[in-house]
Chains A and B, each alone.
Chain A
Amino acid sequence: GGVGMPMGTFVPPKTLWLPAMKGKGLEIMGTFARRAGVIQMEMTLTNKAMSVMTDFAIQFNRNSFGLAPAGPLQVPTPLSPNQTIDVSLPLNNGGPVMKMEPLNNLQVAVKNNIDVFYFSCQYPISMLFVEDGKMDRQVFLATWKDIPNENEAQFQINDCHLNSDAASNKLQGSNVFTIAKRTVEGQDMLYQSMKLTNGICVLTELRVQTGSPTYTVSLKCRAAEVSQCVFQCYEAALKN
């Protein structure tokens, strides 16, 4: 599982983004984190080649939410053979936008003195959930009513053993805010909101049946295509 931060933010474990075989000896493992409101691309670079590596730089292809490096990739060079280094690259969302498939896909180019290497990775959309995403209750009710039923997506999360308060607390660590809670016929219904960096708001209803490990998440958003990615974040946050 991932590493829980003090604020409760879920950080997925690093995965292999660039195998050394494809990077002429450069291996990159990475993940994404949101720390104090800043999206970070966190990478472990390993030099598995027989010569030193210098002159690192990074560039993103245009992507769904305009993610872009907020500064240069800082690698203390040279990176000697067998040396491993952790680097953290702050991102902003001021870059060029192009809808990707899947929506959270990011195409990356990393350059060093040997060559330019390309890889794709996917970021949890929760990296884009802003700290002030708690919607006013009246606005929530009006928006919920206003978004057409066709825009509602429903998913199930199995094998979840938290009660609704624990679930609410965990999600709040990822900037998913509970606005209201009601209990109807033994089901806790949590009404929650989140806001993405580009202003898109997502409204959800999380149903937790006492004694049942299966949750039901219903998502309403004017941009319905984000629902699948948001659901993935619910699942990751609640199961880790």
Chain B
Amino acid sequence: RILPDKSTVITVASHNATWHEFMKFIDAGKGSHVSGMSELKTYFNRFGYLPISSNDTNFTDTFDTQFESAVILYQQNLGLPLTGKLDTDTISTIMSPRCGMSDSVNTTSHGFHTTRR
């Protein structure tokens, strides 16, 4: 097997930038079950959209009602059409690099509440 030369590996690595794996969720909607969606829920939790409920410590791979609400709030905060689905606009915004501060408004996240005007 011919190993890719070092520069190729580096190039590939840059394409594997953080969150690019979320592309596989495109067009997922309520009721769907996609392997790895728990990772996307962790992303939504990090930015203040999805609290970890007290009883279960891990997120599931199911696109449930709670996640749909989180997607709608995300779309609202990022000025996207409120479809409640992981449409192309929403997925490409999710994959876009961003600031690490939470978007949460009037909810606790990283100890910061924010108030939108």
Do A and B actually bind? no
Enumerate chain B interface residues (CB-CB to A < 8 A): none
